[in-house]
Structure formats: structure tokens, C-alpha cells
Structure 1
Amino acid sequence: MSPFESSNIDFKSLKKVVGPKSDLKSLSETCVSFANAQGGLIVVGVEDGKLEPPVDQKIEQDVVNKTISRLRDLTDSVGIVNPEIITHENGGQYFKFIIHPSTRTIATTSTGKVFVRVTDNCVPVSGEELTNLAAEKSAFQWELVSIGKVKLKDADINQVTYFVEQIQNSKFVSDFIKEKSNEEILEFYQLINQEGFLTNLGVIWLGKANQRARLSYPLTVQYIVYNDFEEKIRKKDWHFHLHNPKELLIEIEKEAVELNYTTEISSGLFRKQIRNYPKEVIRELLINAIAHKRYTISGDIFIEVYPNRMVITNPGGLPLGITANNILHERHRRNPHLIQTLHDLGLMEGEGSGYDLIYEKLVREIKPLPVIESSINKTSVTVYSGVVDKEAFEILEYISQHFKLSQKEYIVLGLVASDKKILSTQLSLKLQLTTEDRLRSWMGSLLEKSILTSRGIKKGTEYLLNPTLFSQSRLNIAPTLKTIDKEQLKHLIIEYLKYNGERSKQDIHKHIKDVELNDIQKCLYVLVEEGILLPLGGRKNRTYKLAKKK
């Protein structure tokens, strides 16, 4: 038993249901949150983070019966089933029960409150989010429904054989699954139901073209290329339902030649070809579009390629609880069985959305982070081909050859190298982090290895590349004033005004171009406070000059 809570399991202390501190009301909210997502398991009698119940803990059947009865009274449209007392090998006892997902109605508490499970949290839902939840209800269960009543014997036998062979040869699948019969494997992956009919998911993977076409909203894709004037110059579509998801992915990658274009950059005596879009980024975004598409609404997946960017759009907004500002960390699935199948076939990560990989591959080539836009009907992701910052790229190449870093460390390093210096608050924002502690875990050993240096304290902390390291590397990197120390910047401003007389901050910025205007303004404030400079004029037209020495 895993000691950690997740999107489909929750641990509760026995004190939650018995004794003076019992709180069945909050437990009922957890039940509602599971029912409005994909169901789950509640374990009572094991503390969160523990592997086992207390040694001397005993559970009376009457406690279980009263708990289940009371939870049913406190909830509406929540299926609470299979309560069972378990005796752990240490002698202690706990009990567990299953929450079924509510397939057609929104589950609520008896007081009318609505909650949904997002990762390991019970999140309240209200207002506009209720509309999204109602739309998600059918999406949650779409995979398991069998509308066409297609028998397994009527499916494409070649697809059935090929699918089973891939599962049996996959390094991501346990021997326990591989040793099952063909039908048991298909049932395990929810491709057939207990009556032997193909589910909607089964039709997508194993069906014939005419069977896939009879799905309400089958998997269809359009690939469109535009010129500089945003005029269509090439189009390819997949509307004939000839491929399962894996075959379709391979066909798209083969057809989308524009996504394989490269840019040449010089690196010393050599020239290096850099892809406009890293191959791994294309694969992850295509898989995400297929895996998280809402199959209960009409619409194609669109892949639009412009001279400077690629936009992938799929029907349906982001899953409930996921936003553009937390997608790097949240783990919530719309089509969990499809995602599990794609993972076991080696096509995508089992957890999350793969955005950590997307971030890593983009920042390692000093490309902009993806731009994500989502509404109730669609989600689009824009990736820019960008112009590689040659110097920053060489820095990351040098570091990759001399240091072994984690994925998180590479992401942080790429963001710092791209900006030359960055405030901790700005870095946290780009990494979608909420606390300083979490930022430290992403920084890893970058400071200890002297790859990065820091200056300032708390929210004023800045991170920048360590100039000493790169002076030793013999890289041909031009110096920049962007990372200049504040005392050195103050000296430059004083020297400029000494020889040029009264000047505005804009004049100073033109002279010291690499330094951000905001940093110049801060230095001017300090110099005025120290009595070194005199401000003249109003705020809009303010100028500065050296104060006369007394």
C-alpha cells in the first residue's frame, strides 16, 4: 500500500470517524470530490504518510456500518460501496471503502455543496466551474461506454493481435499483466467490457474504419501550413479513421515535414543544426492533444504551422482544476485509461502532462516557454521557433559536458541563462511555484556547484550565471552589463553625469543599454538619498545632476 495520497486514494485517521474529534462532514466532502472525478478509495485508520495502522488498533464492524450509513446521509449521488475491515500484518486494523464516480449527475453534499478531486486535494466548485464540471462528467466516463455494441470478433483482428503483442513486449508493463490471456489484457485496458463488447476506447484502438466513424466524435486531425501573410499553403487531414492513436501519431510526424526544419548556428570552428521545434516537444504536445481531447464534443485537433510558431489546438478546455498557471505541477486526467494505455505503449509519461519535459527541451535551446490558452471548448498551445541565443546556448552546452544535472536544474539554468539574471520572484512565477521552499528544491545544486551565484536577500534575491566559471571555460562570450553589480552601476552613472552634465534616466539608459531601466531607476533613487545626485523637474521630465560637494 502506497503511503501517499493521490488523485484516487485518501488516508484518514480513525479519529476522523470516532471520538470527540470526529468529522464525518469533511469526510463526506472527500467522498463527493471523488464521485465528481474518477472515483477513488478511502482508507480509514492509517495516518497520511504512514505505511500501516497503529499496532493495537482494532475496528468494530458497528463503527464501519455507522460510518457508511452516515456518509450516505450526508451525500447525494455518491456511490459508497465495498466497505471492508483489513487486518495488517502488524496486527493493527483499518477499514476501506470505494467511491464510484457519478456518471450522469453532479454529486453534492446534503447541504448542496460541490467538490472535485484535484491531485490529492478536495477542491470546492461553484459558479462558472459548475458548468465545466457538468461538461466534464460525460468526458470522465466516455472511455468505458459501449454504444455501438461491437463484438470483439467483429473488430479488426490485425489491430487486436498487434495491440496485445505491443503490450507483451513493452518494458513499461509488469509480468503480471503480460501473463494474462488476450481477452484479459484487453479487459484490463478497458478496451472491452465484461459482456465482450468494445468500449469507445476499444473502438479507437481495435475498431475498423467504419466502426470508428460511428463514434459520436471520433479522433480527427488537420495539419495546416501558413506563409508570412498567414495564407494557407498546405493542408493535410486525417478524417477517414484508418489509424489507431499510435499509428495516427506516426503518420502525423511523417507528414509534418515543416516541423523538422532546422536553424544553423556557428559554434567555434563548427556549425550546429538546431531544430526549430525539438522532436520531444512535438511528440509530447501531439500526445497531449490526443490524450486530453474531450471526446464528447465536436471538433478536430488542429496543428497550425506559421513561419515563427506552431499552434496545436484540441477540443475541450483543460481538465477541471488545471490552468495555464499550474500545468507544470498538477496531475489530473480526463481520459485516464487512454493515458494509461499510451504510457504502457511507451508513448507518454504515466503521470502528469509531460510539461516538465517540454520546459526542459525548450529552455536547453533557449527558446520561449509555451503559451497556453484554454476555454470551455478548446485548449491551444503555442510554441515559438525563436532565435537561439548563441551565447546562452554555448553556456548550456558547456555545462552539460562538465556537470550532471537533474531535469529541474536544467530548467532553472536555462531560464537564468536566457535572462542573464532573474529575481527569485520572477523565477518562481515562470516555474509556477508558490513558496520559496519549493524554489530551493528546483535550484538543487546549482549554487553549490558554483554554476549560478545569487545576490540580495528574500524577495530581492537575484540569480545569475557565475562569471568565474565561464571565464575558465574559454568560451568566446562577450561581457554584458546586465549582470553588473549595483555598486559598479552607481559608479558608471556618476561617471556618465560627470562628463555629460544634467541628464534624464532615459539618456543614462541609452548610454548603458544592457542594464534594465528599472535597475537604473533604483540606483538613481539610492544616489539621490545618499546626496550624491540632485533630482530636477517633475516626475515625467525629471533629470539628474551631480550634487556640489560641500
Structure 2
Amino acid sequence: MNYSETNLNEEEVAKVLSYQENHFLDMKSKRIKPAKLSENVSSFANTSGGDIYVGIEEKKIKELSYFSWEGFNNIEETNAIIQMLENLAPLANFYDISFLKHPKLGSYVMQITIFKTQAVIFSTSGMAYVRKGAQKLPINTSEKLKRLELDKGIVQFENEIINESSCEDILESDIYMKFMDSVVPNVEGEKWLKKQKLIRDNKIIVAGILLFNEEPQVLLPKRSAIKIFRYKTSGIADRDMLEGQPLTIEGCLYDQIYGAVNTTKKIIESMKKLGDKFENVNYPEETLHEIITNAVIHRDYSIITDIQIRIFDNRIEVESPGKLPGHVTVKNILDEQSARNPKIVRLINKFPNAPNKDVGEGLNTAFEAMTKLRLRTPIINEMNNTVMVEIRHERLASPEEMVTEYMQTHDEITNREGRLLTGIKSENTMKRVFWKLRDRKMLEPVPGKQGPAFAWRTPKDID
């Protein structure tokens, strides 16, 4: 592969040495053995990716520790590390190397950028690792390896057999009968289930029960429903702020999605609207629909906990069990795809009015809907074992709003001050903002001020 070389200045060197080791960054001495370094590579590739700087020594003076640049004399000295990386199949194209050159010392620090991989990456010793904070943790039991494979979507829990199930759990359900009538008429029900690999040894797999059973919660308790909470606060989720009892949305996945979206909408509509000078801004239905759909069809059903929707005064949180699958990260989630539950994703798309009509475009649609209403785009966070999407009820401030907020703490505002405040460059465009507020009786000219001194104020008859 190709490697880049960058000449740093002293300020950039100081910046590198100021970095702190964390979940996404590690500093290593050039004296580290390639085999030992492979453990760190494995941990980043199996988690969320990150950067390793090789050629940085950690030193201590009494209780004070700091990083020191102790780089390679030349790039050829890193050949053993490069060989190790090339041999870590299937790391392949999931890493990048940059050589950072010190402006005075002339030595090199090797920056290895590791990307999250679809496959499990093992160190040269055959042990896999994961990253947690600034630590690498060994995957040293079969249970831990199975968990990692589930996290990455290599092993799919949707294909697990439910021993207590039977074919009748689907064949006799109204949901399946309606589905067959509208989607695959004139096909024998059990034959179609077998063709779709939803039956094995006369038992139903997880995906089949979730999609076509009327009450999958009976066979998959505490992991196949949605809980909705309403907290009367803009702060943290506190039991004292919980309004009433949490609502539980059950049924097949199709019904859960539409039921959760409708219930969430009703709760939002019942919330007190604040302010009367600007039009009320609601959460776009497309955003709620796509994010809830995404949580339902991509969650990890091996984890025994339900999806949670928490509705606050200023935001909605949708928390879905499981890590981001495959090579998907918070940074690339709008551009990359990796289905943890491919059967669920494919088959729910066959339903009339499928909740995932545009497969692979759901989150992009959610973000675009927020932008159209000048709302801040959702925030996606990956926790230890969950993914949380936060939809904030915050508008991207319009120039009119920015001026109005400014006037709450100022007596008057000039055109120049308005342009500095809003970033508007045109004097005439700024005038139109003021005129719009004037027409809504929210501003009036300051008497006696003309020319460059012309200014606006809040009308005196408005409290």
C-alpha cells in the first residue's frame, strides 16, 4: 500500500505530544515488538477504529508524566511493523499509514490509522482484542468471541431457533395470513416460510417470530418490545420527573414501528407549546419514523432489553440495544451500510406500506427532514452496548430569532451590529430582516437616529 509523509512544524509536533490516550488513540514506543503492537491493532479494528502513534515515549518526572518524541531514524526501520500489518488478514484496506517528520530532529513518528472492520481481527498470537477506554481487553473465552461476532454482525441472532416455537405460531397468525394474501398469494404458507429459511427442524427462527407472530414478546420476552417514557424536564432522566407509567408497544415488528411512531407523536402534540411570536416547530414525522424504524430493524435481539424512547421537554432519545454492526461507526453511518438482521430488513420491506421503503437511506431521510425545518440534525452516540439517537427540539436559529434574542438583553441594534450578529454580509439583506420584524410589530425605529446611526428597538408598548 502507499504511505504518506508529512513534514510537521513545531506547533504541530506540540499538538501531537499533547494528545491523551483514550478509546480512539494510543501512543507507543518505537521499541515495541510488532507482535505486541498487533494486539493494539486488533483492539481498534474490533471496536470503533482509532490512531496509534509509534515513536512516542511516555516519560515521568516525579508524579508528572508526559510524552516525548523518540522517532525512527528512517522509514525503513518500520518495515517489521508494516510486514505485521500486511499479514493481519483480513485487515487489508482497513488501515492507513502516515509518517510524521520532526522539523528539527528529522526523525519519524509512524501514525497508523485503523478503521473498524467487518471481520474479527486477531493479533499475531491468535488472540482477538477489543478497546475499552484506553485499555485493550482480550477476547479469551468462547462466550466473549460469540459476543464480538454478534456485535459485528458476523453471527446473526435472527437466525437462532426458538425451541418453544412451532410452525403454527406463524401459520395461524392473522398477520401472516394478511401478508400472504397481499404479497405472495396462491403460495402455500409453510412452503414459503421454508423457502425464506424461517423454519428449521420444524421450529421458527427469531426473525420469523418477530416478523409474523402476533405476540413475539411471549417467546422473546424483555427484548422484543418498545418502552416509551415521558420526562417533564429538559435535564437528565430522573424517576421524579417521569410522567405517569412507561408505555409498552408490543406486537410484530411492523405494528411496533407504526405504533411507536403514532404514540410518540401524540405525546409530543400534548406537550405545552412555548412562545407565541414564532410558528411552532414540531418534530418531522419522517425523522421519528426513520429513526424508530432503524432502531427496530437493526437492534441486537440477543441482548435482553427493550428499545427505549424517552421524550423530554427539549428532545427525544431513541436507545437501541447493541453496538453499530460491521464496519459502521458514528462517523460513517450515513454513508456505510451493514445489516445485523438482513432477513428482517429484507422481509419487512415486502410488507404493504413498508416502514423501510428506501432501504439504506433511512437515516439520511431523517437528517434531511430536520434540516428542511431548520432543526438541528440528530446526534448519534455509541455506548457500551447500545446506540442512542438524540433528536433535539432546537432550531437552527434564523436571523430573525437571533435578533430577537439579542434584543432581550440590549436596548437597540444597528444594521452593522445585526450583520456581525447573524453573519449576513449584505446591508440590504439585513434591512429585510429588520423590516420583517417591524411588520410583525417586534421592532420599531429608534426615534431621532438617521443615517449610519439608524437603529432599531423593541416597541415600547410591548412588555
TM-score (norm 2): 0.52
Partner Cα distance (2:199, 2:400) in 1: 52
> Which of residues 141, 149, 152 in structure 2 aligns to 1:137?
149
Task: Indicate the SS of the match to 2:246.
Answer: strand
- The equivalent position to 1:369 in structure 2, one of 372, 377, 387, is 377
**In structure 1, how many angstroms separate the alpha carbons of the residues matched to 2:385 and 2:211?**
25
User: 1:133/1:320 Cα in 2 relative to 1: closer, same or farther (>3 Å)?
Assistant: farther
Q: Distance in 2 between matches of 1:284 and 1:116?
A: 33
Aligned residue number for residue 150 of structure 1: 165
The 5 A counterparts of 1:221-232 are 221-228=226-233, 230=238, 231-232=241-242
Q: Kindly state the Cα deviation for residue 133 of structure 1 after the two structures are TM-superposed.
A: 7.0
Which of 356, 359, 370 does residue 348 from structure 1 map onto? 356
Specify the alignment match of 1:186 in structure 2.
Answer: 193
Q: Distance in 2 between matches of 1:149 and 1:350?
A: 34
Give, in angstroms, the shift of residue 377 of structure 1: 0.7
**1:237 and 1:123, CA in 2 relative to 1: closer, same or farther beyond 3 A?**
same
* TM alignment of 1:246-285, pairs within 5 A: 246-256=254-264, 257-260=266-269, 272-275=279-282, 277-285=283-291
Structure 1 position 150, deviation (Å): 2.5
Rate the CA distance shift 1:114–1:237 in 2: closer, same or farther, 3 A.
farther
1:141 Cα deviation after fit = 2.2
Any idea what SS the aligned residue of 2:316 has?
Answer: strand
Q: 1:197 aligns with which of 167, 192, 203?
A: 203
* CA distance in 1: counterparts of 2:187 and 2:93, whole angstroms: 32
Give the equivalent residue in structure 1 for 2:225: 220
Per the alignment, residue 387 of structure 2 pairs with 379
Considering Cα pairs closer than 8 Å and 6+ residues apart, tell me whether 1 or 2 has the greater RCO: 2
Q: Does 1:233 align with 2:229?
A: no
Equivalences, count: 288
CA, structure 1 residues 307+157, in 2 after alignment: closer, same or farther (shift >3 Å)? closer
Match of 1:40 in 2: none
Q: For the residues of structure 2 that align with 1:344 and 1:206, how far apart are their CA atoms? A: 12
SS at match of 1:362: helix
Q: Which amino acid aligns with 2:198?
A: L
User: Secondary structure of 1:234's match?
Assistant: coil
Deviation at 1:319? Answer: 1.2
Offset at residue 359 of structure 1 (A): 1.4
Match of 1:165 in 2: 181
User: What does residue 367 of structure 2 align with?
Assistant: 359
Give per-residue Cα distances to partners, 1:432-473, cap 9 Å, x unaligned: xxxxxxxxxxxxxxxxxxxxxxxxxxxxxxxxx9969979x9
Residues 262, 284 of structure 1: CA spacing in aligned structure 2 closer, same or farther, 3 A cutoff?
Answer: farther
CA contact (8 A) 1:217 1:296 kept: no
Q: Is the 8 A contact 2:257 2:355 kept in 1?
A: no
Alpha-carbon offset, residue 214 of structure 1: 2.8
Please report how far the alpha carbon of residue 273 of structure 1 lies from its aligned counterpart in structure 2 after TM superposition: 4.6
1:95-106 equivalences in 2 (<5 Å): none
Query: Residue 274 and residue 166 in structure 1: after superposition, are their counterparts in 2 closer, same or farther (change >3 A)?
Result: farther
Contact 2:261 / 2:292 at 8 angstroms: preserved in 1? no
Alpha-carbon distance change, 347 to 160 in structure 1, aligned in 2, over 3 angstroms: same
CA contact (8 A) 1:304 1:311 kept: yes
Determine which of 232, 240, 243 is the counterpart of 2:251.
Answer: 243
CA drift at 1:371? 1.2
Cα distance 1:116–1:316, how it changes in 2: closer, same or farther (>3 A)? farther
Matched letter for residue 259 of structure 1: I
Relative to structure 1, the CA distance from residue 190 to residue 116 in structure 2 (aligned partners, 3 Å threshold; closer, same or farther) is farther
Match of residue 125, structure 1, among 94, 102, 121:
121
Aligned to 2:319: 313
Distance across 2 between alignment mates of 1:163 and 1:338: 14
**Cα pair distance change 1:180/1:219, threshold 3 Å:** same
Q: Give the deviation of 1:348 after TM superposition.
A: 1.0
- Contact 2:118–2:326 under 8 Å retained in 1: no
Q: Distance in 2 between matches of 1:192 and 1:420?
A: 61
Give the deviation of 1:343 after TM superposition.
2.3
Structure 1 residues 197 and 330, CA, compared in 2 at 3 Å: closer, same or farther?
Answer: same
Alpha-carbon distance change, 331 to 149 in structure 1, aligned in 2, over 3 angstroms: same
CA change 1:112–1:321 in 2 (3 A) is closer
Aligned-partner residue type, residue 143 of structure 1 = E
In the TM superposition, residue 189 of structure 1 has moved relative to its aligned partner by: 4.2
Residue type at the aligned position of 1:142: F
* Cα distance in 2, alignment partners of residues 384 and 375 from structure 1: 18
Which AA in structure 2 matches 1:363? T
CA 1:184–1:467: 2 relative to 1, 3 Å: farther
How far off is 1:262 after superposition? 8.7
Cα displacement (A) at 1:201: 1.0
Cα gap change, 1:266/1:217 in structure 2, threshold over 3 Å: closer, same or farther?
A: closer
Spell out, residue by residue over 1:19-58, the C-alpha distance to the aligned partner (whole angstroms, 9 max, x if none). xxxxxxxxxxxxxxxxx9xxxxxxxxxxxxxxxxxxxxxx
Contact 2:294 2:363 in 1 (8 A): no
Which residue is equivalent to 1:410? none
Structure 1 residue 124, shift from structure 2 partner: 7.5
What is the alpha-carbon distance in structure 2 between the residues aligned to residue 262 and residue 274 of structure 1?
12
Q: Deviations over 1:60-108 (max 9, x none)?
A: xxxxxxxxxxxxxxxxxxxxxxxxxxxxxxxxxxxxxxxxxxxxxxxxx
Evaluate the alpha carbon distance shift between residue 379 and residue 477 of structure 1 in structure 2; reply closer, same or farther with a 3 A threshold.
same
* Paired residues of 2:229 and 2:242 also in contact (CA < 8 A): yes
Q: Aligned partners of 1:320 and 1:122: how far apart in 2? A: 4
Q: 1:116 to 1:238 in 2, by over 3 A?
A: farther
Alignment of 1:297-336 (within 5 A): 297-336=303-342
Paired letter, 2:178: Y
Q: CA deviation at 1:115?
A: 4.8
CA contact (8 A) 1:391 1:477 kept: no
8 Å Cα contact 2:217-2:225 kept in structure 1? no
| Contact 1:314–1:379 (CA under 8 A) maintained in structure 2 | yes
Q: Deviations over 1:504-534 (max 9, x none)?
A: xxxxxxxxxxxxxxxxxxxxxxxxxxxxxxx
CA 466–363 in structure 1, closer or farther in 2 if over 3 Å, else same: farther
The superposition leaves residues 261-310 of structure 1 with CA deviations (integer Å, 9 ceiling, x where unpaired) of 5969999xxx85531x1101111111111111111112121111111111
Where in structure 2 are there 5+ consecutive unaligned residues? 1-45, 47-84, 95-114, 123-128, 132-137, 402-420, 438-451, 453-463
Matches within 5 A, 1:59-78: none
Once the two structures are superposed, residues 329-374 of structure 1 have per-residue CA deviations (whole angstroms, 9 ceiling, x without a partner) of 0111111111112322211145326221111111111111211111
